Structure 1
């Protein structure tokens, strides 16, 4: 790629290095070279050929944009599903806590009434202690989250290749995977987008996760608790945002082509 650009200064004068890297990602460098040569010719035939070349490039850009939209939509769908399942388990846990709290209040009230009505001092003490223990038990149970789970299978796991930093992906389109793994497309140019995504997961989502949690998130599925679904949705949404941002690079190349 670099050797090609050094040999063709006409491209480097018109397009930025970033735009040319995007052009290389979608495979239109040869078309850009042909277009640049045709644009310097003013004959009607060459102008018509230049229009054809430009349309071919725009078609490639459209295909690339469609691939981005497709994988982003899949990420959005998976993230939404994880969010809905997390919400369901959260609501179940909230209802459980309300029931246990209500039972604790009822038992406390009943114990108070019973100890007031019972004449025997010893019996009153036994009832009071028993009621207090039972009420505290219900209150204590309410303080703990439910262990309820939902089984989720994801044979096509969109998180796996990012986590494992695989060189090739069977899930992402080659163009998208190339951009995610080329350092030049990240803000710092020091690490790839996929590397930065993985680091954000480690720092802000998985900082206290166990190997079992990681096997759940990045494997083929398993039994998810509410917090697990929240973590999965968070990672999918972060990844979706990064994938959608590739469209900005495509837009930059499109604008340069139109000049």
Structure 2
């Protein structure tokens, strides 16, 4: 009788696992509510990265602006405006034109600041969304593991009772074999690291743009230039994008670039395990931090601009 009970537990567990295979993947394919409305991404020509030529052509500004600030002027599209003010300041008759140039400069600066704030807000929203999904999957997997653990304890207890009650050696061995098989199955199910998964779709994938170092019209030309220009970073040796990519390989993918290259994170979407979800959330937060860090060179530029164009 006890052997039948244990067998029933094992068969029932296998049947439940099989019947729930189709439900093991959470369908979350709807586009993210964090994506900006259509037409909100500033579009424009790709900005050249010939920084040496650019700085050489504007040496007359080097006494007032740092190299990074001259590049910020270029990225904002106001380098020519500042050059014109430089020529007009000695001519009081051109005060109206100078005023118009300053207004255009201020408008461009406000747009640049808005670009940074908007993209950072989107990344913050998307990071929180993915983190919420990850925690939900974690909770389901935790409950699943608990159920398997409890069932394993029950099976072990029943096997122990059977061993002391059944005197027939043949039946005793049968119960032991059945219980052992059930325990192995439950143990493997408990140790299974995959558990419940989630299906995500993200055709707008900012992480892919960073990984491939290709702007798919997802990021404004101003921000993209700032992220990919080496002289904007603190060291000047690698761009912010290059540094971020290397950190992802080291910390999110354990130094395995090939593993990263084939990750679902850099695709249009697919099946995410809990670990993938946590990695995606962390990477979105890291990218958000890089975007917010662009406020530092912009702040330096604004301080220099206020001294030069009072």
Shorter chain as denominator, the TM-score bin is 0.7 to 0.9
Select 1:185's aligned residue among 224, 232, 237.
Answer: 232
Name the count of aligned residue pairs. 253
1:143 aligns with: 191
Cα distance in 2 for residues equivalent to 1:151 and 1:233 = 15
Deviation at residue 258 of structure 1 after TM alignment: 2.2
CA deviation after TM superposition for structure 1 residue 17, in Å: 1.6
Structure with the higher helix share, 1 or 2: 1
Task: Give secondary structure in 1 for the equivalent of 2:192.
Answer: coil
2:302 to 235, 251, 254: 254
Partner of residue 65 from structure 2, selected from 9, 12, 15: 15
Note if contact 1:23-1:29 (Cα within 8 Å) is conserved in structure 2: yes
Please name the residue that 2:58 is paired with.
5
Alignment gaps of 5+ in structure 2: 1-53
How big is the shift at 1:150? 1.6
Report 1:163-242 matches (<5 A). Answer: 163-166=211-214, 168-206=215-253, 207-208=255-256, 214=262, 216-242=264-290
In the alignment, is residue 24 of structure 1 matched against residue 77 of structure 2? no
**What SS is found at the alignment partner of 2:62?**
helix
Instruction: Report SS of the residue matched to 2:206.
Output: coil
**Equivalent-residue separation in structure 2 for 1:136 and 1:216 (angstroms):** 32
Tell me the secondary structure at the aligned position of residue 251 of structure 1: helix
**CA distance, structure 2, for counterparts of residue 159 and residue 221 of structure 1:** 12
Which ranges in structure 1 are unaligned for 5 or more consecutive residues?
none
Matches for 1:60-209 after TM superposition, within 5 Å: 60-166=108-214, 168-206=215-253, 207-208=255-256
Q: Could you tell me how far apart the structure 2 residues matched to 1:250 and 1:193 are? A: 15
CA deviation after TM superposition for structure 1 residue 149, in Å:
2.2
1:229 and 1:209 mapped to 2: Cα distance?
Answer: 18
User: Aligned partners of 1:36 and 1:209: how far apart in 2?
Assistant: 48
Following TM superposition, by how much is the alpha carbon of 1:152 offset from its aligned partner in structure 2, in angstroms?
0.9
1:58–1:254 contact (8 Å) kept in structure 2: no
Give the Cα–Cα distance (whole angstroms) in 1 for the partners of residues 192 and 78 of structure 2: 58
Structure 1 range deviating more: 170-179 or 48-57: 48-57
- Secondary structure at the aligned position of 1:13 is classed as coil
TM-score (ref. length: structure 1): 0.86
Task: Give the superposition deviation at 1:132.
Answer: 3.2
Structure with more contact order per residue of length (Cα contacts < 8 Å, sep ≥ 6)? 2
Note the C-alpha offset of 1:101: 0.4
Structure 1 vs Structure 2 CA RMSD: 2.5
State which of 68, 83, 90 in structure 2 corresponds to 1:33.
83
- Asked if the contact 1:169–1:177 (Cα under 8 Å) also holds between the matched residues in 2, the reply is no
* Distance in 2 of aligned mates of 1:208 and 1:44: 64
CA distance in 2, matches of 1:238, 1:211: 19
Cα distance in 1 between the residues matched to 2:156 and 2:257 = 39
